[in-house]
Structure 1
C-alpha cells in the first residue's frame, strides 16, 4: 500500500523573550506563527469505513493540533521558567495575561521540538508525524523531520 503525506497548516499569535540573548529578541515581542504539520500513512482501504480513502481525517488532525498547540500558545507570552523573566511572568499573570513557562529557551527551534513531542503522543498508531515547519517571520522558520530524529 502506498504511503501518503498530508499537511495541515495553522496560525497563531505568540509573544516571547529570549533571556540572555545578545540581540533585540531579548525584549518581549511577538510573532504571527505559521505551523505546517505533515503526517504520513496509508489511506484507509476498508470501503465500509466512513473515512475510506483518507490517511487521517483533516478534522481529526486539526483537533489534535488545536488542543495541543494552538489553544495553548495562541495569544500567550512564553518564557523559559528558569530565567529571571519568571518575575515578569508572575506580574503579567496577576494582571490576567496568558503566560506559559516552559523548560526551554522559547526559540522556534525548541518550540518545534516541543510541538513534535506533543503531536506524536496524540496520533493514531498507524499514522506517523513526518515533519513540522514553524514559520516565525515571512523569511525565517525552523523545521523538524522524523527522519532526522
Structure 2
C-alpha cells in the first residue's frame, strides 16, 4: 500500500513580542499566521471501517489542530514567562488572552512547540511529516520530520 501525504491549512491571529530583541519585534505586534500541517500514512484498507480509504479524516485533523494549537493562540498575546511581571499582571487583570511560554515566541520556536503537541495528539497510524508556519505574506518557517532523524 502506498503512503499518502495529507495537508490542511489553518489561520489564526496572534500577537507576540520578542523579549530582549534588538529590533522592532521587541514591541508587541500581531501577525495573521497561516499554518500548514502535513501528515503521512497509508489509507485504511478495512472495508468495514467508515473511514475506509482515508489516511485520516480531514475533519478529525481539523478538530485536533484547532483544539491543540489554533483555539489557544487565536487572538492571544504570546510572551515569554520571564516578561516584566507588572506587565503580565496588568494584562491578566484586564482579562487579556495571554499565553506565557518558556521559549522566545519566534516563528521557529512556535513550530517546535506545535510539533511536540501534534505528535502527542496524532493517531498512531499516521506520522507528522511537516509543518509550515507563515508569519507574514512573504515569510515562513518549516519543520520536516526527515530533517530530524
Q: Which residue of 2 aligns with 1:95?
A: 94
Q: Which residue of 1 aligns with 2:31?
A: 31
Q: Structure 2: which 5+ residue stretches go unaligned? A: none
Distance in 1 between residues matched to 2:31 and 2:78, nearest whole Å = 11
SS at match of 1:121: helix
Q: Which residue of 1 aligns with 2:3?
A: 3
Distance in 1 between residues matched to 2:15 and 2:86, nearest whole Å = 16
Q: Which residue of 1 aligns with 2:112?
A: 113
**Equivalent residue runs for 1:73-92 within 5 Å:** 73-84=73-84, 86-92=85-91
2:43 is equivalent to residue 47 of structure 1: no
Scaled by the length of structure 2, what TM-score is found? Answer: 0.97
Shift of 1:65: 0.3
Shift of 1:90: 1.9
Q: Structure 1: which 5+ residue stretches go unaligned? A: none
Distance in 2 between residues matched to 1:82 and 1:147, nearest whole Å = 33
Q: Which residue of 1 aligns with 2:124?
A: 125
Scaled by the length of structure 1, what TM-score is found? Answer: 0.97
Distance in 1 between residues matched to 2:77 and 2:88, nearest whole Å = 8
Shift of 1:126: 1.1
Q: Which residue of 1 aligns with 2:13?
A: 13
Moved over 6 A (4+): none
